[in-house]
Amino acid sequence: MRAPLDPDMFDPVCPSDLSPIRFADKWGGMVIRCLEGGPRRFSELRVPLRGITAKVLTQSLRTLERDGLISRTEMAGPIRHVEYELTALGRSMLAPMDVACAWTAEHWDELIDAREAAAS
């Protein structure tokens, strides 16, 4: 049995769209982070990604699968379900994502100032 995902693994005060660096789509990087520790079911992904609708999560998963970053496996048995898992290609995204996150943290104030200036 694997440990559940932390429902607070993504800080709601830190919107994913603040970083100009994207992985697949708006939610793709967060989905990849959720799968970093191993395969997960759709319902497990919904816990830390509570701001995403089921439809958008499905679209994001399909995009990541199409791009070869995750695999989708239908599990047979008494309780049928689907699990999503990072492929080797998807796992190779973790290091660039760490660099992008570090860059965003380093330039956080500048990014916020630019957004606020553009909004006014």
On the question of pLDDT at 115 being above 90, the answer is no
* pLDDT (0 to 100) of residue 16: 59
User: With 90 as the cut, is the pLDDT of residue 64 above it?
Assistant: yes
| Closest CA relative to residue 63, chosen from 20, 26, 116 | 26
| pTM (two decimals) | 0.85
Phi, psi of 84 (to 5 degrees): -115, 140
Q: What's the angle, vertex CA 26, arms to CA 24 and CA 15, rounded to 5? A: 145
Q: What is the mean pLDDT of the chain?
A: 89
- pLDDT computed for residue 1 by the predictor: 64
User: For position 105, what pLDDT does the model report?
Assistant: 84
Q: What is the pLDDT of residues 5-62, one digit of tens each?
A: 988 887 665 555 677 777 888 899 999 999 999 999 999 999 999 889 999 999 999 9
**pLDDT exceeds 80 at position 3:** yes
The predicted pLDDT at position 90 comes to 97
- If we measure between CA atoms, which residue out of 91, 5, 15 comes closest to residue 48? 5
